[in-house]
């Protein structure tokens, strides 16, 4: 991050200096007191369980250069940092991030979608890095506070920034796009995540389309036309649209897709009569489309198919535990515990079945935020597991009983259901056999990564 002066912070946020030096500067920004480095600006967040204002004295002692506060009394007696009074600490962080991103003057690519955002972000950055110094969001910093924190990790030496835009409700992507103002935007797909709150997929589509709210004639939207909710003909606007998919009707398309579990996925990427064969070291057939989306986005900055091949083939993994293969000499474990949705869970089952092994075992947990689709969504996964002839299905959690029921009805001969992961872990030794390929996948909050560890400890 480039330095930002206290004066710049006050001007960008409309804040008021109520204590500390007016001539200082910050060299970082954080919203977690445990992660603060000397020289940082601390942003106190009021959450459901804690109030960041309580940590202002602590961060002051640990070398914070500045702190926001929404309450003057929260900083009483604090010495050292510049104390800046703001109406809303999150809004102030957003305004400062917008100012800072404009100041460092980088080209911006914004990525949203129900699934595949982070993977597409990582791939886009890998391709852009072939021609440009490229910065990207780390981890899954993609919320109305996470995206500003990601922006503060960029600096003026960079040419391109690849940022992720997530949401849980309407208007959140609008607010993030107000800050990011992407030159190019990508929508990976429209699924059923957040349907619990947004009620319909059309409402989810409208929320994702907020990424273009600040578009003009010089901007470009990249869409996955394989998704039934995304189609060029349905977008009427004065900006360019690039389509991606698996047929030659799209501007960028992939075919000849091959996956061999643990060795990644290979495919041919086409654009404008040219094509290139790419081997991606990360797993999952769905990542062929994500790679094509990334290539289309990077092409708006001048990258070509050779840049795509070179950048993508250098990648070794993606952020988070996505289809990560591990072994302990007895089992091959596919750890995909980062997140889960019906489409990604079914794709993970495909990867499992493409893995060479005498027996294929799927350990599948609950998927959240599916609203009225939670039962059919879980059953769809169970039916898919049966169609792919999974040998043993171990379902974990109340909602996952729907996976187990559908799999059993579909013909999977060995299906077990467990109330929680602790009960499953007690039975692992008796259920698994030498040579098994084992997929473990669920929403991250189920903590099935602990099941992965338990399996790997079975020596």
Residues 407-434: tens digit of each pLDDT: 999 999 999 999 999 999 999 999 999 9
DSSP 8-class letter at 8: H
Coil vs helix vs strand at 102: helix
Closest CA to 79 of 55, 103, 61, 53: 61
pLDDT at res. 312 = 97
Q: Which CA distances in Å does 285 have to 192, 193, 280, 366?
A: 20, 21, 10, 22
Fold of the CATH domain 4-87: 3.40.1390
Residues carrying CATH 3.40.1390.10, the chain: 4-87
Return the CATH number of the domain spanning residue range 324-456: 3.90.190.20
249, burial (CB in 10 Å: exposed 0-12, middle 13-18, buried 19+): exposed
pLDDT at res. 283 = 86
| Predicted TM-score of the model (pTM) | 0.86
Beta bridge partners, 221, equal: 185, 241
pLDDT at res. 261 = 74
pLDDT at 321 over 70: no
pLDDT at res. 323 = 79
Average pLDDT on 276-287 reads: 92
Using the CB atoms, write b or e for 110-119: b if 16+ within 10 Å: bbbbbbbbbb
Rounded distance between C-alpha atoms, residue 379 and residue 401, angstroms:
9
pLDDT at 390 over 90: yes
Check if the beta carbon of residue 352 is closer than 8 Å to that of residue 448: no
Rounded distance between C-alpha atoms, residue 418 and residue 427, angstroms:
10
| Sign of torsion over alpha carbons 35, 39, 41, 46 | positive
DSSP 8-class letter at 282: S
Closest CA to 323 of 286, 278, 360: 286
Residues carrying CATH 3.40.1190.10, the chain: 105-314
Residue with tokens 């999974």: 390
pLDDT digits (tens, 9 = 90+) for 182-196: 999 999 999 887 787
Closest CA to 211 of 237, 238, 186: 186
pLDDT digits (tens, 9 = 90+) for 292-317: 999 999 999 999 999 999 999 998 77
Share above pLDDT 70 across residues of the chain, in percent, rounded to a whole number? 99
Rounded distance between C-alpha atoms, residue 44 and residue 7, angstroms:
20
Torsion angle in degrees (nearest 10) through CA of 297, 300, 301, 303: 70
Which H or E element spans position 417? strand 414-418
Rounded distance between C-alpha atoms, residue 271 and residue 254, angstroms:
9
Residues carrying CATH 3.90.190.20, the chain: 324-456
pLDDT at 131 over 90: yes
Rounded distance between C-alpha atoms, residue 129 and residue 107, angstroms:
13
Check if the beta carbon of residue 139 is closer than 8 Å to that of residue 319: yes
Lowest-confidence range among 49-53, 139-143, 225-229, 293-297? 139-143
Mean pLDDT, the chain, integer: 94
Closest CA to 270 of 242, 222, 305, 303: 305
How many helices (H) and strands (E) the chain has is answered by 15, 22
pLDDT at res. 138 = 82
**Best CATH choice for the domain 105-314 from the list 3.30.360.10, 3.40.710.10, 3.40.1190.10, 3.40.640.10:** 3.40.1190.10
Check if the beta carbon of residue 177 is closer than 8 Å to that of residue 221: no
Check if the beta carbon of residue 124 is closer than 8 Å to that of residue 318: no
pLDDT at 240 over 80: yes
Residue with tokens 């952020």: 319
Which tokens in the block code for residue 2?
Answer: 């480039």
């Amino acid at each position: 991050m480039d330095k930002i002066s206290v004066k710049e912070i006050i001007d960008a946020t409309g804040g008021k200096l109520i204590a500390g030096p007016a001539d200082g500067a910050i060299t970082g920004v954080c919203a977690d007191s445990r992660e603060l480095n000397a020289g940082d600006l601390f942003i106190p967040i009021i959450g459901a369980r804690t109030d960041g204002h309580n940590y202002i004295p602590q961060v002051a002692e640990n070398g914070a250069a500045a702190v926001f506060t929404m309450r003057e009394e929260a900083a009483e007696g604090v010495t050292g940092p510049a104390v800046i009074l703001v109406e809303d600490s999150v809004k102030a962080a957003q305004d400062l991030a917008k100012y800072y991103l404009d100041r460092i003057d980088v080209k911006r690519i914004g990525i949203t979608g129900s699934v595949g955002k982070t993977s597409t972000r990582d791939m886009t950055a890998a391709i852009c890095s072939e021609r440009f110094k490229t910065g990207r969001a780390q981890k899954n910093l993609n919320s109305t506070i996470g995206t500003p924190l990601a922006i503060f990790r960029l600096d003026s030496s960079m040419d391109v920034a690849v940022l992720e835009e997530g949401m849980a409700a309407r208007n959140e992507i609008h607010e993030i796009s107000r800050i990011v103002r992407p030159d190019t935007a990508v929508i990976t797909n429209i699924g059923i995540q957040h349907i619990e709150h947004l009620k319909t997929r059309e409402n989810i589509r409208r929320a994702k389309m907020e990424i273009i709210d600040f578009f003009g004639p010089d901007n470009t939207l990249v869409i996955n036309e394989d998704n039934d909710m995304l189609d060029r003909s349905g977008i009427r606007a004065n900006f360019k649209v690039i389509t991606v998919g698996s047929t030659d009707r799209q501007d960028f398309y992939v075919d000849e897709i091959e996956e061999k579990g643990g060795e990644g996925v290979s495919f041919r990427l086409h654009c404008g009569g040219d094509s290139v064969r790419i081997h991606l070291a990360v797993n999952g057939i769905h990542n062929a489309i994500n790679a094509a989306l990334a290539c289309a986005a990077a092409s708006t900055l001048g990258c070509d198919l050779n840049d795509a091949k070179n950048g993508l083939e250098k990648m070794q993994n993606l952020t988070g535990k996505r289809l990560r293969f591990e072994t302990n000499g007895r089992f091959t474990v596919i750890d995909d515990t980062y997140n889960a949705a019906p489409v990604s869970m079914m794709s993970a089952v495909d990867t499992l079945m493409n893995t060479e092994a005498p027996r294929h075992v799927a350990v599948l947990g609950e998927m959240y935020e599916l609203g009225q689709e939670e039962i059919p969504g879980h059953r769809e996964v169970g039916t898919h597991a049966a169609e792919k002839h999974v040998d043993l299905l171990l379902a974990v959690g109340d909602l996952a009983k729907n996976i187990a029921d559908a799999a059993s009805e579909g013909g999977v001969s060995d299906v077990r259901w467990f109330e929680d992961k602790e009960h499953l872990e007690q039975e692992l030794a008796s259920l698994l056999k030498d040579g098994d390929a084992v997929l473990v996948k669920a929403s991250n909050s189920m903590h099935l990564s602990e099941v992965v560890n338990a399996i790997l400890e079975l020596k």
